[in-house]
A and B are shown apart, each in its own frame.
Chain A
Amino acid sequence: MSPSFKSIKVGDAPAPLVCGPLTRTQFVRYAGASHDFNPNHHDEVYAQASGNKAVFGMGMLAGGFCARLLTDWLGDGSLRQLRIRFQSRFWPGDVLTCTARVTAKRESDAGALVDCEFSAVNQTGEVIIRGDATAAVPP
């Protein structure tokens, strides 16, 4: 059950979503599903020749994890805006923890809106992506 405008408070946060340990197979699966065929994400030989220790995950894959956290929390179809900033790379074996929190609530012509910030961090606490989102919630 997604929260109502009345019940939700600034600072509220959903239970974190933990993804991983991530595998090369997941990167390849996302490449096929998303059409992101940058070889740095699936071709270890190419990625290493380009100076990377291994293939690395797509920022939009981490973005997909965080979008799921938000829709599970605030409701399917609730998002009005989503912005993802790519901060750092992530690698096979990494575990990403996605968190979010309410930063503001406001009423507008578009209805009752909740602003949030979110991030995905790896097992050492390094920020992989961060972003902000706006969702419409029931009154």
Chain B
Amino acid sequence: MDLNATGKTFPPYEFHVERGKIREFADAIGDPNPIYRDPAYAETTPSRGIMAPPTLLRTFLYEPKAAAEALQVKDWSYIVHGEQEFEYFAPVRAGDVLTAQDRIVSVSEKESRRAGKLQIAVIETLFHNQNGEKVQVARRTLVETGKRISE
């Protein structure tokens, strides 16, 4: 990884939080909650509409490659997703148009007895909705191991 990538920010990108995607995602994690699929029910809840499950927004972060490319990883098969964090500020609802911006918070090195020299990158994504309201922050920690971690 490029240790000098710390602090880099990337152009914002926009995506739509579609009702069908929310339902598809809730089905995939086996969550039958009507707040993810029934508009009449969801209207009666504090979110006042179909809302996104807590881990949904990670799914919009596989496509944009700029931040990941800036890490200059030599071989992605040595990269593991170590940790994923979300902070929630306001509900994300079906129909929202979100703007996301990625920033590399840190790239650092650490010795591990189990896996040799580790390089650890934290990428933060800040999400605003169509009203300019900050709704979520996602942070993913990517770890490059010096050797493959055996089972």
Residues of A within 8 A of B (CB): 19, 26, 29-30, 32-37, 50-51, 59-61, 63-65, 67-68, 70-72, 76-77, 79-86, 89
Contact = CB atoms under 8 A, between A and B. Distances in A.
25 contacts: A26-B30, A32-B24, A33-B28, A35-B60, A35-B63, A36-B62, A59-B81, A60-B84, A61-B29, A64-B25, A64-B29, A65-B30, A67-B55, A68-B30, A68-B53, A71-B33, A76-B51, A77-B51, A79-B86, A80-B88, A81-B85, A82-B54, A83-B84, A85-B82, A86-B81
For the residues of B in contact with A, the DSSP-based class is mixed
Contacts of A29: 27-28
A35 B62 contact: yes
B108 interface: no
Contact of A34 (B59, B80, B87, B148): B59
Given A34-B58, A76-B51, A84 B27 contact: no
Given A33-B24, A37-B62, A81-B87, 15 more contacts: A26-B30, A30-B28, A35-B59, A35-B62, A65-B29, A67-B53, A68-B30, A76-B45, A77-B47, A79-B88, A80-B88, A82-B54, A82-B86, A85-B82, A86-B82
Contacts of A51: 148
Size bracket of the B interface:
35 or more
B29 A30 contact: yes
A34 B28 contact: yes
